[in-house]
């Protein structure tokens, strides 16, 4: 969870704060490969993991990010979501809810495992979010699971801290 600029905290079971975020390449909603390094070119990244497109909780989460997207970009941040659905399903999800950010397809859950957000007993995907700086350092993280409001608060705090400089 985000602390002050000088205080980094993380949720239990997630990657260590201050450590390097694992590099990856996944297809985006158009089927084009996108790497972590590419996503970081324009600024720090809010990388969020979610269980599935079109489910009530994940739709609420995506729409909250959509509604904050202008502020996210205004703070110099980028955002990308990762889940196990195909690029085609991601594209339909983006279109239906007018999502302006990148969705990445991790059908084999390789990146989900790398970022330590597998569900209990290896099933599903936990709702986890990382703030990653341009040097690929993990600056903050939250494991929100069913607490959509905690995830939204994490994003709002990341915006506020980034806007401060």
Active-site residues, by number, are 58
Cβ within 8 Å of residue 80, ≥6 positions away: 34, 39, 45, 46, 47, 48, 101, 102, 103, 104
Q: How far is CA 40 from CA 21, 23, 32, 55, in A?
A: 11, 11, 16, 28
Cβ within 8 Å of residue 120, ≥6 positions away: none
Using only the alpha carbons of the chain, give its radius of gyration. Answer: 14
């Amino acid at each position: 969870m985000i602390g002050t600029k000088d205080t980094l905290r993380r949720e239990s079971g997630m990657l260590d704060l201050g450590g390097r975020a694992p590099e990856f390449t996944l297809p985006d909603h158009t089927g084009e490969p996108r790497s972590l390094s590419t996503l970081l070119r324009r600024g720090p990244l809010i990388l969020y993991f979610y269980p599935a497109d079109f489910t009530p909780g994940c739709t609420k989460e995506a729409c909250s990010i959509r509604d904050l997207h202008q502020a996210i970009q205004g703070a110099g941040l980028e955002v990308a979501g990762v889940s196990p659905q195909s690029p085609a399903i991601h594209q339909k999800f983006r279109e239906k809810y007018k999502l302006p950010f990148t969705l990445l397809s991790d059908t084999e859950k390789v990146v989900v495992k790398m970022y330590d957000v597998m569900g209990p007993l290896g099933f599903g995907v936990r709702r986890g979010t990382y703030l990653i700086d341009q040097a690929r350092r993990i600056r903050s993280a939250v494991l929100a699971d069913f607490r959509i409001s905690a995830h939204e608060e994490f994003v709002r705090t990341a915006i506020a801290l980034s806007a401060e400089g």
